[in-house]
A = this chain, B = another copy of it.
């Protein structure tokens, strides 16, 4: 009987389910976003599958220019992360594969599952910190700094990364410079590259 009263109190609250402030905010990609992320899916429709991401079971194709596959489980691909401040990625490297130089808005940790890679970052004093990692090794790439990974082994490599934002961004330096609409002249002036080099790389990226 006592516990009955206990449950009545809870039930009343629960019946107003639109009014419950939730422990999580599974992203609803069909509503307008705000600065803190996606609007929350109706909690009544949330199931355990919203919290599980199965897209990392197998690697993706690595037949691209960098011989890699970067599968990013950020909030747009894995809406269960929305608002929770963390995300992940699966990095597959073919032999000779590279995760090209890039930045995120937040810090990243990497753990090497298979293979042998060189991983590194560059700090604001232009000091590069890089080293060969063995299976099981972890490396941290501090917030916002340029970093990269290169498979130096004789077999494919596999790593998982985690970043402390549901939407950390992923800006690949060479794609930013050569694969988009930034005029060649501005690349040349602001990075000091030669015109021929810029044109060659734009072509490589299929960008004329």
Contacts and interface: CB of A to CB of B under 8 A. Distances in A.
A107 B85 contact: yes
A65 B186 contact: no
Interface residues of A, number: 142
Interface string A53-89: 1101110110111110000011110101111111110
A45 to B, nearest CB: 12
A126 B129 CA distance: 27
Interface string A144-183: 1110101000000000101110110111011111111111
A169 B106 CA distance: 13
B35 A40 contact: yes
Interface string A24-65: 110011111111111110000001110111101110110111
Interface of A: 2-7, 9-11, 13-25, 28-40, 47-49, 51-54, 56-58, 60-61, 63-67, 73-76, 78, 80-88, 98-101, 103-109, 111, 113, 118, 120-131, 133-146, 148, 150, 160, 162-164, 166-167, 169-171, 173-183, 186-187, 189-194, 197, 200-201, 204-206
